[in-house]
Structure formats: structure tokens, C-alpha cells
Structure 1
Amino acid sequence: MDKQHQQKYQQLGLNIAYYRKQCGMSQIRLAERVGISRTHMSRIETAECAVSLDVIFSICAVLDISPDKLFDFRQ
């Protein structure tokens, strides 16, 4: 993954963590509701792996947010 993409995945992960915490949800609970492991959720939030659109849409559904909120990358 090149540096530009890595930065975007980092921001995506930070946004997921932000909205998860706003909902008062633990990483474990979000992972369970999305249907992935807690380890995978942790790796998504810390940009250690890429994330599929299916998982992104599931995260958004669980957090009751639109996908554009996750892709609001502030400079």
C-alpha cells in the first residue's frame, strides 16, 4: 500500500473509531454486530489492513451513519 493510500486508511480507521465511541460501543461489540473478529476490527481501525466495501457498509449500518461520514478526511 503506498503512502497516500495508507494515510486514507488511517483516517478511515480513525473515523470508524470516533463514531463507534460516539455510540458508546466497544470494538468487540461492533465487530460482533458487523460479523468480523475483534482482531480484524482493530486492524481496520489502525490501518493495518484494507477493508472491503461490504464491511464498510455493515459498519455504517450498525453505527447508523452514512458512508460519507467515514470518508470525511480532514486535512
Structure 2
Amino acid sequence: MKEEYREQYRKFGLNVVYYRKGLRITQLQLAELLDIQRSHISAIELGNVGVSFDLIFKMCEVFNIKPKELFDFRD
């Protein structure tokens, strides 16, 4: 990950946290729904890793949102 994009990764991760908590599920429960490890969810939420389009689309199905909503960064 390029350092210049670190803030965008962090904001994306915060949006994942927001939608996960809106469903009232844990990181482990989300990981199971997405078929990934809980540690990967943690890394995403902290903004430490990038996410594939496949995973973004799957997250949107779970959260029942459009992909653009994951990228709607609030100040």
C-alpha cells in the first residue's frame, strides 16, 4: 500500500466497522459470512490492507448496500 493512500484505507476500514456494527455482528461473524479470517477483517478495519473487488462486492451483499457507500468517506 502506498503511504499516500493510507488515510483512504483507514476511512474505508471505518466504513466497514460502521456497517458491521449496524448489523450488530462481530468481526468473527462477518469473517464467516465473507469466508475470510477474522484477522483479515481486523486488518481491513484498521486500514492496514487492501481489499479485492470480489470482497467489496461480497461485503455489499452482506451489508445490503451499494459499493459506493463503502467509499463515501465522512469527515
* Same fold? TM cut 0.5: yes
TM-score by length of 1: 0.92
TM-score by length of 2: 0.92
1:54 maps to 54
| Shift >2 Å, 4+ stretches | 1-4
Matched, 1:4 2:1: no
- 1:25-50 CA-to-partner distances (Å, cap 9, x unmatched) read 11100110011000011101101111
Q: Percent identity?
A: 44
2:19 maps to 19
Amino acid at match of 2:57: F
Q: Deviation at 1:9?
A: 0.7
In the alignment, the residues of structure 1 paired with residue 40 and residue 60 of structure 2 have an alpha-carbon distance, to the nearest angstrom, of 16
Q: Deviation at 1:74?
A: 2.1
In the alignment, the residues of structure 2 paired with residue 18 and residue 4 of structure 1 have an alpha-carbon distance, to the nearest angstrom, of 24
Alignment gaps of 5+ in structure 1: none
1:36 maps to 36
